[in-house]
A and B are shown apart, each in its own frame.
Chain A
Amino acid sequence: AQTVTQSQPEMSVQEAETVTLSCTYDTSESDYYLFWYKQPPSRQMILVIRQEAYKQQNATENRFSVNFQKAAKSFSLKISDSQLGDAAMYFCAYRGSSNSGYALNFGKGTSLLVTP
Chain B
Amino acid sequence: DTAVSQTPKYLVTQMGNDKSIKCEQNLGHDTMYWYKQDSKKFLKIMFSYNNKELIINETVPNRFSPKSPDKAHLNLHINSLELGDSAVYFCASSQAPPGTIYFGEGSWLTVV
| B-binding residues in A (CB < 8 A) | 33, 35, 37, 39, 42-45, 47, 50, 89, 91, 95, 98, 100-106, 108-109
Contacts and interface: CB of A to CB of B under 8 A. Distances in A.
B45 A104 contact: yes
What are the 7 tightest A-B residue pairs by CB atom distance, in nearest-first order? Answer: A45-B103, A101-B56, A103-B45, A106-B43, A101-B55, A101-B48, A102-B98
A108 B98 CA distance: 22
A50 B88 contact: no
A81 to B, nearest CB: 25
Interface residues of B, number: 28
Interface in B81-100: 88, 90, 92, 94, 96-98, 100
B110 to A, nearest CB: 14
A49 B71 CA distance: 26
Contacts of A102: 31, 48, 50, 94, 96-98
Contacts, number: 57
B42 A44 contact: no
B18 to A, nearest CB: 24
A56 B40 CA distance: 34
21 contacts: A35-B100, A35-B101, A37-B103, A43-B105, A43-B108, A45-B90, A45-B103, A47-B102, A91-B43, A98-B96, A98-B97, A101-B45, A101-B56, A102-B48, A102-B50, A102-B96, A103-B33, A103-B45, A104-B35, A105-B45, A106-B43
